[in-house]
Amino acid sequence: MEILEKLRRVKNPFTGQDIVSEGLVTKVIKEDNKVIIYVAFARNTPRKPAAMAMVWPIQAKIVREIVNVLKDYDIEILDDLTLQRYYPVEEV
């Protein structure tokens, strides 16, 4: 699938692996120009405040890179466990 190939360009900055091979992308739904991507952020983050605070910048970077590689699509990024929506953080 074209979308998965594009998502393979996104690397987890912590591990250096692409997010598809690493299993962070669990489902992709494409309807016309809309793409919904389910990611496994919550299930791979320990439920401790310090751990959650440490991985948030990594998750934000991954989301920004997903948005960048799929800039030609209308995308929505959801956590596959919590259904939390992720959006790129505005650079200041």
Model confidence pLDDT, tens digit, residues 15-42: 999 999 999 999 999 999 899 999 999 9
Q: How confident is the model at residue 88 (pLDDT cuts 50, 70, 90)?
A: low
The fourth-level CATH superfamily of domain 2-83 is Fe-S cluster assembly (FSCA) (3.30.300.130)
Strand order in the sheet with 25-31: 25-31, 34-39, 74-79, 85-86
Task: Tell if the pTM clears 0.75, that is, is over it.
Answer: yes
d(CA 61, CA 44): 16
